[in-house]
Structure formats: C-alpha cells, structure tokens
C-alpha cells in the first residue's frame, strides 16, 4: 500500500491539472493546470525509477549494492527543461494578451470584431 | 563517390542537425545584412533537401530497406539485452513524410522572402522557422519514443512563437496561447503514455517495444492516452478548436509549415498504432456468443466515427465562415478527416483473415497515405493564395473582397488550381487520392463513402463561393491600385501548383514509387522490428 501512494498522487495531480485547464477561465490558472499535469508526469517517471534498497548510480566505492537505472531521471530532467521553456512562453504570451485586452478572463479574449 | 556514401550513412543525423545549426547561425548572419540572411536560410533548406533526396534515392533503391542510425555507445546494456541509446530509423513511411516536409520547407522559405519583407524582427522569425523545420524532421525520422516527445515539444514551442509572431494583433496572440495550451497538454499525455510503456517493458525504442508488447490492461490505457494526445496535435474534431485560430492568424508562410507539423503528428499516430501496437491489435477483447470483438475493430470504428465528425464539422463550419484564412483552416480540418477515415477503415479490415478484406485495408491505407501528400500540397497552396491576397489588399474578410481577378491574374489561376484539387476534381491530385479512399471505404461500408463524397461536394460549394466573392464580381474602386504579388511568392505558389498538376496527371507514378513503399512499411511490421533490432 505504502508504495502505491506516489501513483495515487500522480493521478490526483493530473486530474486536478485537467480540471483547471478545462473549467477555469483565468489564463494564469490554466497555466498552473498545465504545470500540475507536468509535475504529475514527472513524479510518475521518478516513481518508476525507484527500487527498494537501491542507491544512486554513482560509481564510487558502492561495492556490490544495487543501483537504480538512471534513464527515468534523465527523462525527467529533459522534461523539466522543456517544461520551463513552455511555461516561459505561455507567461510571455499572457503578458501580451493582457496588454491587448486588459483582462485575463478567457471568455473575454479574442472576441472583438475585425 | 566516398563522400556521397558517407553523406547517406550519416544523413538521418544531418537532416536534423543542419537546420538546427542553421537556426542558431541565422541571427549572426543577419548582423551582416538582410539579403545575406535570406540567401543563407534558403541555402540551408536546399542543403537539407538535397540530403533528403540522397537518402530517398538510397531507400527506394532496395525494396523494404530500413536505414538505421545510432547515437551513443553500445554499453551499458539493460536487462532486455538492448543498449540504452537513441536510434533514428528511416523506412518507406519516414522518407515519404520527409519528402512532404522538404517540399513544404523549400516553398515556405521562398514565400517568406517577399511575404515577410516589411516586418521587423526577421532574424528571430527565421531562427524559429528553421527550428520548426528541424523539429518536424526530427519527429519524422526518430525511432525512439522519448526522442519523439522532445522533437514534438521543439516543434510546438517554435510554432507557437511563430503563430503569435504578429503580436500587435490581439487575436494572433490569443491563437498562439490556445495552440500552446492544447499542444502542451497533448505532449504531456504522450509523455505519460511513454512512461507507462517504459515502466512495463524497460525500453523506449519503438521496435523493441513492438517486439515486447503483450497487451496488458496498462497497454490499453497507454494506447488510448497516446492516440488522444496525438489527435489533439492533429486537430481531430473534439480537439480541433485551436486549429482554425492557429492556421487563420499565423502568417501564411508559417501556416504552410504548421500543416506539415499536423501531418507529422498524424504520422506519429500511424507509427504508434500500426508499428508499435501492430502485432497485438488483433487481440480478442470480448466475446459475445460466437463473435469475437477484436481490439482493431473497436479502435477502427471509433476512429471512423471521429473521422466522419471531423469531416462534417469542418465542412459545415467552413460554409458559414467569413474570414478567408479561417475558412481554409476549417476545410483543412475536413481534409484531415479524410485521412483518418481511411486509417480507421484500414484498421477495421486489415487484420482480418479474409484475403479480400486485407486487400481493402491495404487500399484504404494507400489512399490515406497518398492523401497526406495531396492535402499538404492543396491546403498549403490555398493558404499561400490567401496570404497573397492579404499581402496585396491587407484585407481578410470575404465580405470586403471582390473583383481581384482583374489585378491578380496569376494568383487567381493558382487559387482555381487549389480549389479544384482540394475538392477532388478530376485533373488534380486530390481526385486521385480521394477516389482510392471512396473505393476502399465503399467496400467497408457504402454509407462511409457516400458521406465522404457528399462532404467533398460541399467543400467545392464552399470554395466556389469564395472564388466568386474574392476574385470575381464587379470592380471595386478601393482595389484599383492593387498589384500582383512579388515574384518570390508567385514562384512559391507556382512550384506547388506544378507538383499538384503533375501528381494529378500521373498519379500512378507517385503511387507506385512513393506511396506503395510507405504502405508496405506500415503493414509489414515484422520486417521493421527485425531490421531495427538488428541495428541496435
């Protein structure tokens, strides 16, 4: 049971994030929703890499103890870096949107006549 | 001769690396002057295209050949016996998509020369443009699931910034934001599915996954999440809202590459469904009496239903739209529906035991894949024409356009060609692929092809309306001093129009030499698995 808690957290994070994206009108909250999904997926990757009684894969006097395979960690790092880029882009777009419409309410944006 | 061989050997890496390097050199070159930068960008794209053509020549020389390219060392080795490294693989389908991407990239860069001339910040524009092209090639060529995700994100970040390139327009920024929300969510879904697969099989390589896949309950979930994530990126109907905005508000040259990016996502879906899950798709899920309900049937019917919805909604929304580019974007949604219709029809039949059903499935796949090429060209040409009209008149609403044929005769001819092609009229390429789709879906279920033909006719009605309201009609005094667009834009449109007419006149050459290898590559996934695993 105790080992399942991270997976429950993953599902909870992803569902909360989806809820925020679908139902929230404020653009900043939508962005928060996306970052929540992202942390959920990252947590999932990290949890997959966990192995009981294993150590970090650094070859320094570790003897014959079990090391955990570092691939998921590498994937997570890459995904975090991509996430930062996406987050920065989204926030900079929000700045531009706010300059044009003076609001962050998604229902009032982009409705003007041409 | 040796240099050519070396080039072909390293070509999968070079096709991605050259635009990537070019992207980051562009700001430096544009310090010298603008003309130099434009020539540099065109040179980079042409160099990439030359390498793609060399690789294509190599792939098509031997039937069923798969070119694998390995990044990284041969150790450490995981429990499964495979080294942890990234693999690029090129088979008939990959090279087919790469050829489409090449055409779009060349045409887009030539078109940009004049179209974007009056804008500022062009060094950033070209940097992002080349990044987008590099990402698109990466998505197409990679054989690694996580690598696919990375290139997907590179493409979405670059294309989102380009959609919102005209930041002085509120709607463009809004479209960019919509696009990034949908594509970031879709990409995270895909990453989640990749993590599920990795957790079970300890592998990220598509071929290794395909050889190991057992089709557990978790694989079901991964398949659904993967396909829905890719469908989001491809703009299939319940998730299509971003597409008209993004296509409609982006500069026309960017829209052209966006069409290619959408096709690349569709390619991803094809690859995941047919190659990675290929062996296990005929698993029996449920049994009612004597009838086995197989997974491919359920997935196929579901995809066909989505495809019909996509076609319907795309056409109907196009009928009532007044903005030139948004209207073409809805037509593009409908066109995507045709491809998925063919894929769904193929899924329902191709795994069956009967010989005729397999033939139908293979034909549907042939039509669907051929239509990917034709759709990219037709819709791309229409967007370029819409961009040219905007360039000449600064007007987007169809209500205020009219009588342009007097001043812009070449553009009018190109629009006529695109119009006939996109609605599947005989001398153009759209007819060739749509006919194959109608024929094969008729054998699956006649209703499918009836709906498809009906919507194609409606599409013709839509475009005839546009043709009449924008190009024909009385002379309008405000457009008196409108001139024909510059030569580079005419050249770009001319290239696509020539290819459209060529494919329309000789469809069998294209089908036999390019499309058939792609279909073989999809259907024969044991060849793929053995070849790629042999390369690891």
**Residues B307 and B314 sit within 8 Å (Cβ to Cβ):** no
pLDDT in tens, B219-252: 889 999 999 999 999 988 888 889 999 999 999 9
Q: How far apart are CA B397 and CA B383, in angstroms?
A: 14
Average pLDDT over residues B98-108: 94
Preferred mutation among A43, A89, A95 to probe B, highest tally of B CBs within 10 A:
A89
Q: How large is the C-alpha radius of gyration of chain B?
A: 22
Q: What is the ipTM of this complex?
A: 0.95
**For the whole prediction, is pTM greater than 0.90?**
yes
Average pLDDT over residues B296-318: 90
Q: How far apart are CA B433 and CA B228, in angstroms?
A: 26
**pLDDT at residue B315, as a whole number:** 92
Residue B299 has pLDDT above 70, yes or no: yes
Preferred mutation among B190, B195, B324, B393 to probe A, highest tally of A CBs within 10 A:
B195
C-beta atoms of A110 and B78 within 8 A:
no
Closest CA to B72 of A71, A56, A51: A71
pLDDT in tens, B172-212: 999 999 999 999 999 999 999 999 999 888 888 888 888 88
Q: How far apart are CA B152 and CA B158, in angstroms?
A: 10
**Residues B83 and B471 sit within 8 Å (Cβ to Cβ):** no
Determine the distance from the C-alpha atom of residue B86 to the mean position of all C-alpha atoms in its chain, rounded to a whole number. Answer: 24
Q: Chain A: nearest CA to B90, how far in angstroms?
A: 24
pLDDT in tens, B1-58: 688 888 888 999 999 999 999 999 999 999 998 899 999 999 999 999 999 999 999 8
So where are chain A's domains? Answer: 2-51+67-106
Closest CA to B104 of B217, B262, B293: B262
**Residues B152 and B213 sit within 8 Å (Cβ to Cβ):** no
Chain position carrying tokens 């940097």: B127
C-beta atoms of A90 and B184 within 8 A:
yes
Q: Chain B: nearest CA to A60, how far in angstroms?
A: 17
Average pLDDT over residues A81-100: 94
pLDDT in tens, B255-273: 999 999 999 999 999 999 8
Closest CA to B270 of B197, B350, B325, B331: B350
Q: Cβ contacts of residue B337 below 8 Å, gap of 6+?
A: B236, B237, B307, B308, B309, B310, B311, B312, B314, B455
**Through-space distance between the first and last CA atoms of chain A, rounded to whole angstroms:** 58
Q: Which CATH architecture has domain A2-51+67-106?
A: Orthogonal Bundle (1.10)
**Residues B442 and B449 sit within 8 Å (Cβ to Cβ):** yes
Cα nearest neighbour of A75 on chain B: B146
pLDDT in tens, B56-66: 998 888 877 88
pLDDT in tens, A4-60: 899 999 999 999 999 999 999 999 999 999 999 999 999 999 998 887 778 877 777
**Residues B443 and B381 sit within 8 Å (Cβ to Cβ):** no
Residue B536 has pLDDT above 70, yes or no: no
Cα nearest neighbour of B193 on chain A: A41
Q: Cβ contacts of residue B304 below 8 Å, gap of 6+?
A: B340, B341, B344, B345, B348, B448
| Cα torsion angle, B158, B162, B168, B173, sign | negative
Interface of A with B in 63-102 (CB under 8 A): 69, 71-72, 75, 78-79, 82, 85-86, 89-90, 93-94, 96-97, 100-101
Closest CA to B401 of B464, B316, B332, B323: B323
- The pair of structure tokens assigned to B446 is 């006649």
Q: How far apart are CA B43 and CA B133, in angstroms?
A: 14
Residue B535 has pLDDT above 70, yes or no: no
């Amino acid at each position: 049971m105790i080992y399942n808690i991270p997976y429950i957290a993953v599902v909870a994070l992803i569902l909360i994030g989806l809820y925020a994206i679908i139902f929230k009108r404020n653009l900043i909250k939508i962005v928060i929703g996306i970052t929540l999904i992202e942390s959920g997926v990252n947590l999932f990757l990290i949890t997959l890499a966990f192995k009981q009684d294993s150590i970090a894969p650094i070859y320094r006097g570790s003897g014959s103890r079990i090391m955990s395979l570092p691939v998921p960690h590498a994937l997570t790092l890459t995904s975090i870096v991509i996430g930062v880029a996406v987050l920065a882009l989204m926030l900079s777009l929000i700045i531009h949107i706010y300059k044009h419409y003076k609001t962050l309410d998604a229902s009032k944006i982009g409705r003007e006549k041409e | 001769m040796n240099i050519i061989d070396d080039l072909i050997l390293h070509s999968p890496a070079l096709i991605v690396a050259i635009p990537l390097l070019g992207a980051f050199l562009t700001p430096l070159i544009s310090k010298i002057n603008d003309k130099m930068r434009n020539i540099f960008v065109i040179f980079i794209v042409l160099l990439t295209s030359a390498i793609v053509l060399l690789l294509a020549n190599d792939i098509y020389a031997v039937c069923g050949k798969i070119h694998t390219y390995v990044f990284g060392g041969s150790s450490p080795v995981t429990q499964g016996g495979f080294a942890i490294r990234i693999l690029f693989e090129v088979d008939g389908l990959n090279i087919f998509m790469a050829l489409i991407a090449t055409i779009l990239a060349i045409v887009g860069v030539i078109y940009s020369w004049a179209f974007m001339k009056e804008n500022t910040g062009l060094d950033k524009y070209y940097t992002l443009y080349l990044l987008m092209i590099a990402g698109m090639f990466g998505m197409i060529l990679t054989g690694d699931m996580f690598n696919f995700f990375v290139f997907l994100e590179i493409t979405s970040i670059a294309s989102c910034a380009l959609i919102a390139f005209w930041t002085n327009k509120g709607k463009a920024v809004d479209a960019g934001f919509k696009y990034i929300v949908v594509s970031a969510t879709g990409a995270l879904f895909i990453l989640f599915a990749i993590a599920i697969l990795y957790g079970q099989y300890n592998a990220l390589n598509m071929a290794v996954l395909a050889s190991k896949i057992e089709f557990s309950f978790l694989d079901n979930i991964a398949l659904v999440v993967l396909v829905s994530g890719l469908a989001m990126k491809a703009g299939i109907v319940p998730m299509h809202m971003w597409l008209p905005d993004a296509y409609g508000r982006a500069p026309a040259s960017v829209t052209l590459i966006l069409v290619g990016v959408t096709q690349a996502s569709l390619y991803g879906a094809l690859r995941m469904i047919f190659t990675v899950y290929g062996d296990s798709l005929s698993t029996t899920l449920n049994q009612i009496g004597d009838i086995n309900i197989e997974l491919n049937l359920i997935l196929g019917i579901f995809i066909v239903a989505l495809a019909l919805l996509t076609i319907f909604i795309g056409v109907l929304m196009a009928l009532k739209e007044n903005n030139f580019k948004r209207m073409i974007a809805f037509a593009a949604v409908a066109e995507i529906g045709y491809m998925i219709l063919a894929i769904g029809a193929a899924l329902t039949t191709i795994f069956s035991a009967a010989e005729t059903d397999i033939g139908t499935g293979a034909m549907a796949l042939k039509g669907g894949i051929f239509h990917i090429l034709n759709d990219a060209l037709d819709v791309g040409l229409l967007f370029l024409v819409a961009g040219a009209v905007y360039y000449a008149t600064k007007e987007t609403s169809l209500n205020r356009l009219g009588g342009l044929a007097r001043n812009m005769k070449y553009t009018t001819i190109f629009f006529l060609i695109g119009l006939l092609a996109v609605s599947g009229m005989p001398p153009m390429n759209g007819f060739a692929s749509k006919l194959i789709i109608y024929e094969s879906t008729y054998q699956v279920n006649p209703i499918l092809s009836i709906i498809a033909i009906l919507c194609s006719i409606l599409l013709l009605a839509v475009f005839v309306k546009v043709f009449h309201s924008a190009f024909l009609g009385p002379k309008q005094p405000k457009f008196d001093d409108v001139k024909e667009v510059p030569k580079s834009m005419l050249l770009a449109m001319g290239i696509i129009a020539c290819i459209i007419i060529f494919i329309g006149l000789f469809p069998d050459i294209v089908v036999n030499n390019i499309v058939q290898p792609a279909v073989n590559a999809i259907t024969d996934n044991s060849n793929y698995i053995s070849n790629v695993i042999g390369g690891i």
